[in-house]
Amino acid sequence: MLVLSLFLLLSLAYARVEEAIEKLVYQRFGDSVKVQKVKVLGAREVSRVDRIELHMEYGKSNALAYLYSGEERYQVILDVLWKVKSFVALEDVPKGSLIRLEMFRVEERFMKSVPSDLRLNPEEFENFVASTKIPKGTVLRRSLLKDLPPVRAGDLVDAVYTSGSLEIKFKAIAVDSGQLGRTIRIKRDEKILRGKVVSRGKVEVLP
């Protein structure tokens, strides 16, 4: 009976340690993670917990923690699933199409690891076009997209000319498309000017 009681106490102690580690994981990652299992390695008895360190990142399959108890340090293996928001094409998306959120249905899935090209922010969709045909039912990935240049030919842009303390701002039409840092031609009335693309829709006029 004594052996059984000690066994039960030890089991309860482990349960409390595992619960503490699980709680810490949820505090850090919220509902973006689902803890499947917590396993403390090499511990015969944990009388106290001084510190717990998590060594895990969102979307990574390797999830570890370290448990410090007095002079002892124990490794903890965490089996977790990560929540990812997926965007599934409602219809075929032709190559070169501007990406819009209404083209996709949103699904939440839990995965052992989340590839970086699945981590998409719908607020940035307007900055991309399809680099290839995206068939209906396809999960959208970054590798299927191509960046739109910050300035495209025909865009109305904000042009800024500076000379010392003088700054002149005006609207102009982009003659060329251009990425950040590229020099393009812009047109104001009938005059052609040269400018450097400094941000989306903004050009710094060159002397």
Residues 137 and 183 in one domain: no
Cβ contacts of 54 within 8 Å, gap of 6 or more: 24, 25, 28, 64, 65
Shared domain for 110 and 162, answered yes or no, is: no
What domain range includes position 82? 1-148
C-beta of residue 195 within 8 angstroms of C-beta of residue 174: no
Per residue in 102-133, pLDDT (tens digit) is 999 999 999 999 999 999 999 888 889 999 99
- Angle CA(151)–CA(157)–CA(162) in degrees, nearest 5? 110
The total number of structural domains that make up the chain: 2
- Kindly report the backbone phi and psi dihedral angles of residue 172, in degrees, each rounded to the nearest multiple of 5, phi listed first: -150, 165
Q: Which two tokens stand for residue 12?
A: 């309860």
Whether 201 and 121 map to the same domain: the answer is no
pLDDT in tens, 22-73: 999 999 999 999 999 999 887 666 667 788 899 999 999 999 999 888 888 8
Instruction: Looking at the structure, tell me whether residues 168 and 74 fall in a common domain.
Output: no
Q: Is residue 164 domain-shared with residue 81, that is, in the same domain?
A: no
CATH number at residue 123: 3.90.1210.10
31 and 117: one domain?
yes
What is the pTM assigned to this prediction? 0.69
CB burial of residue 199 (10 Å; 0-12, 13-18, 19+): exposed
